[in-house]
Amino acid sequence: MNHTPTVAIPTTDRAQQAIGQIAVDLPGATAVFRRLKLDFCCGGQVPLKQACDSKGLPLDAVLAELVSLERSSEPPVTESPEVMIDHILARYHAVHREQLPELIRMARRVEAVHRESPDVPHGLAEHLEAMEDELLDHMDKEEQILFPMLQAGSQPQASGPIHVLREEHNGHGLMLERLMALTGDATPPRGACNTWRALYAGIAQLSDDLINHIHLENNLLFPLFEPAPQAPQVAA
């Protein structure tokens, strides 16, 4: 499942970009605009600079917040568990905790405002809430149990928690499949409003982030603490 990655845009160009387009192109921007009371839905055709000027907001500060949302998905080039864990905590755990409440809020709005539309994703907010509950519980287990073990080098004791968390990763994969089914692979319908389009862009980003998060743990971090697979016995 491949989605177009967020591309860094020069701040001079971003300042002249319509805020509705920024909301769609840059997952997480909706939370910034909502907090600053910048209307990205009905007033989404206004350039960011003009919108900030009309509210008396410092453009440079708003641009800096938007730049902070442009995150790389590349894992660190390292075999150090400590570096990998620090990267997972900052790039994925913290980001998931920011992503999901905003996606749930937008899903509730889309389901309410467009409830008569045949394209509305009924049950999306409820599914995102279930995903949030599972992810928060999963990340708490990693942060409170597994990661301290790995950082202490407790290889034998780590195999049990790793097995449990691998199984939970499988469950996350099934929830992602359901999420994509509800949203038509995060493809907004023709004529969707900016909130709907931003919601689906954020869901696409969540999907990519969660897939990369699971890959980093399953294929790079966990194998450092698991017994090497034994070679098959060759009959004499």
pLDDT in tens, 22-37: 988 888 898 899 899 9
Q: What is the pLDDT of residue 9?
A: 67
Q: What is the pLDDT of residue 231?
A: 55
Query: Given pLDDT bands bounded at 50, 70 and 90, which one contains residue 41?
Result: confident
Q: If you average pLDDT over residues 4-15, what whole number do you get?
A: 65
φ/ψ region of 191 (left if φ > 0, alpha if ψ in -120 to 50, else beta) reads left
**Of the candidates 214, 211, 200, 201, the residue with the CA atom closest to the CA atom of residue 177:** 211
- The pTM of this model reads 0.82
Phi then psi for residue 18, to 5 deg, are -65, 140
Which tens digits make up the pLDDT trace of 72-91? 777 777 778 999 999 999 99
Query: How far is the C-alpha of 51 from the C-alpha of 69, rounded, in Å?
Result: 19
The position carrying tokens 């928060």 is 136
Low-confidence winner among 68-72, 154-158, 227-231 (lowest mean pLDDT): 227-231
Q: What is the pLDDT of residue 234?
A: 58
User: Cβ(225)–Cβ(158) under 8 Å?
Assistant: yes
Q: Compute the mean pLDDT over every residue in the chain, rounded to the nearest whole number.
A: 89
Query: Given pLDDT bands bounded at 50, 70 and 90, which one contains residue 10?
Result: low
